[in-house]
Amino acid sequence: METVCSSSDTRGFGFKLIKGSVTGPRLGCIFTPRGTVHTPVFMPVGTQATVKALTPEELEQLGCEMILANTYHLFLRPGHKLIERLGGLHRFMNWHRPILTDSGGYQVFSLSPLRKLTEEGVRFRSHLDGREVFLTPELAIEIQVSLGSDVIMVLDECTPYPADRSYTIESMELTHRWAERCKKVERKEGQALFGIVQGGMYRDLRKESATRLSEIGFDGYGIGGLSVGEPKELMVEMTEATVECLPADRPRYLMGVGMPEDVVEAVERGVDMFDCVLPTRCARNGLLFTSRGKLVIKNSQYKEDPEPLDPECECYTCRNYSRAYLRHLYTSGEILAARLNTVHNVHYYMKLMRDIRASIMEERFGSFKKAFYDKINS
């Protein structure tokens, strides 16, 4: 089942909480000028203005309501101004539902080893051609405004893991000052701005960061700096600490997360939004998510297996192809392998989110979670 929300003001951005409060599982709707998004939502990643291997129509058919695009990649190639002159990112890539863009901060810190961080911004070398680029909080917003993003993220410093307390404080405070600068940049009508909570692996700093950002005031809040190599328990603990200090009436977005289990755990703690390359990247590497856990398609046990990837799955791939055929495509390096596997994995995530939403609506998230783990571990 699915609850349908409608916005009274279709020109702007909004969020309505249907079930839940500050903590615990929440059901809601995000309203944007390009349509409504049901939360908890998982956003597939379209790094270079394409969710790898899929068309926009396929994404829609899979039930995808919102995707993420990468500011860093599009800024470097083909350039945000070019995309703006061509009518914006939605038109460029033929995706007409909402798009959230990250700020580029994470990529600068993960893809560009020769970066130099100052109060003003971050200087780095393009991973494509080595040219030097200087990204400021203001420029990060301007790029996203040009792209025509529906949800714009502030530029932050993604605190590395591990980091000591004094570095984490300094980094967090820089992120807060940058967030204030980002808020001052003009956006187009309907474009929301999300702050990003940092604070490393320190509960009190997470709370301080969430409180400080809430004071500045944003349309929603990213939870950054998690899923960076820390133990799962720490990710859950930091999410919990953060969420308690965020306003109930704004969406919370756990950035770059994650595995299906991570999503379930975070939903339980009050997170509304997720994005991750896992379903698409794993698909291309032949790792499939199924109701019974993960499946590595290249394994020889599937060589002559006439069964679908997941007998319980209703996706296009499972309705039409055997494991034997998918293994053949994968071992032969065929493009269709990437396509069919991606369809399956994205379907898995979209169905997971539908099941999660139905369970919250019907106030049985606890039993949903138990059944989810029982099956995966069976």
Question: Hey, which residues are catalytic here?
Answer: 102, 275
Helix (H) or strand (E) holding 152: strand 151-153
Least distance CB 98 / its own copies (angstroms): 19
CA 52/CA 29 separation, integer angstroms:
27
Tell me the one-letter amino acid at 372. F
- Show the DSSP H helices in the chain as ranges: 56-61, 71-76, 80-85, 89-93, 105-111, 137-147, 165-183, 203-216, 232-244, 260-268, 278-284, 316-320, 323-331, 335-361, 365-376
Burial 131-159 (b: 16+ CB within 10 A, else e): eebebbbbbbbbbbbbbbbbbbbbbbbbb
Site for its own copies in 132-151 (CB under 8 A): none
Residue 307 interacts with its own copies (CB under 8 A)? no
CB nearer its own copies, residue 48 or residue 291:
48
Interface residue with its own copies among 117, 248, 296, 324 (CB under 8 A) is 324
Least distance CB 41 / its own copies (angstroms): 23
Interface residue with its own copies among 321, 355, 361, 376 (CB under 8 A) is 321
Among the listed ranges 50-58, 145-153, 183-191, 249-257, the one in contact with its own copies (CB under 8 A) is: 50-58
Interface residue with its own copies among 54, 122, 174, 254 (CB under 8 A) is 54
360 phi and psi, to 5 degrees?
Answer: -70, -45
Spell out the residues 6+ positions from residue 156 whose beta carbon is closer than 8 angstroms to its own.
103, 105, 175, 178, 179, 196, 198, 222, 224
* Binding string, residues 203-222; x marks residues near its own copies by CB under 8 A: --------------------
Interface residue with its own copies among 86, 120, 167, 312 (CB under 8 A) is 86
Among the listed ranges 146-154, 168-176, 329-337, 362-370, the one in contact with its own copies (CB under 8 A) is: 329-337
Binding stretches for its own copies (CB under 8 A): 48-50, 52-55, 77-78, 82, 85-87, 92-94, 303-304, 306, 320-322, 324-325, 327-329, 331-332, 334-336, 338-339
